[in-house]
Amino acid sequence: MRVLVHIDDADIWREALSKRLPNAEIVTSDSDRDTPADYLAAWKPPAELLEKQTQLKGIINLGAGVDALLNSPALPKDVPIVKLRDAGMGPLIADYVRFGVLYFQRDFDRYFAQQIDAHWQEYPLIDKADWPVGVLGLGAIGAHVAQALAADGFPVHGWSRSPKSLEGVTCHHGDDGLSQLLGKVHTLVTLLPNTPSTRGIISADTLSQLPEGASLINPGRGALIDESALLDALGGGSQPGRLRGALLDAFDAEPLPADNPLWSHPRVRITPHMAGPTPVRDAADQVAELIKAMENGDPLDTVDPQAGY
């Protein structure tokens, strides 16, 4: 069995997978991308690599988001695709979201702004119990984040396309459920996949349904957000808009262009898509198990290219 790995730090992945699959030949695209492989473990593989791999029995997407892979014109037909589901990313993203929620709930955004003018003013504390948080997307990572926030004492509302049930989380679904959630939350967290139905879901209409002074955290997919609508909702300069602020980790164009107005907006905090890096140890365990399952013909939860996840 031959496994081809394509990702940054591919040698680290090769070493990790070699320990878990001792009878397999593990190679990287840097050393050998032309010889046919049985399985491809990759993150955003280029079209030319996919075009040369004509004998694949399966593709393992080394991350939660599959839009880059599914949008490749060279993606082979009828090859099953599986993706990492959490694989250690959930706790990391939960920490990122915790930081963002506390940043607004404890008024750190206001205190940091005051520091510029050497202004000393304390704000009344709002209890966690009075700061409802909405989580859009209740897959493996979204569910982990929602339940982590609930365990911290925040009232949490979760939303998905179809009905779901999570302990400690008030779950909503469908268009009516989305409107119900938006009207209740102080902070909105986006953890939906990038699909035709979710692209631009954070629109002018969506943002207008949030309470005045709400905040937005996006550790998910950049294409979910209509950036023009977000900027309008934030307002300009010293003139605040409906939205209090945003913590953004993912963008439609990455790296975020230097001339993008989000960089300089006083109520936006930007991080370089670092909320949930894939921990190699946990992920390699999952990749090895997925490859063994495909090799044995075991049933798997494969990606649906039509649904986009």
| Known active-site residue 281 | no
Q: Which residue is catalytic, options 157, 172, 186, 221?
A: 221
CB neighbour burial string for 90-121, b if at least 16 within 10 angstroms, e if fewer = bbbbbebbbebbbbbbebebbeeeeeeeeeee
Q: What is the C-alpha separation between 114 and 116, in angstroms, rounded?
A: 5
Q: What is the C-alpha separation between 161 and 172, in angstroms, rounded?
A: 8
**Residue 22: exposed, middle, or buried by beta-carbon count in 10 A (0-12, 13-18, 19+)?**
exposed
Q: What are phi and psi of 28, to 5 degrees?
A: -110, 160
Q: Give me Rg for the CA atoms of the chain.
A: 21
Contact 201, 223 (CB under 8 A): no
Q: Which residue is catalytic, options 85, 106, 267, 273?
A: 273
Q: What is the C-alpha separation between 145 and 4, in angstroms, rounded?
A: 32
H/E element holding 229? Answer: helix 227-234
**DSSP assignment, residue 222?**
G
| Known active-site residue 273 | yes
Contact 89, 281 (CB under 8 A): no
Q: What is the C-alpha separation between 31 and 26, in angstroms, rounded?
A: 11
Report, as residue numbers or ranges, the catalytic residues: 221, 273
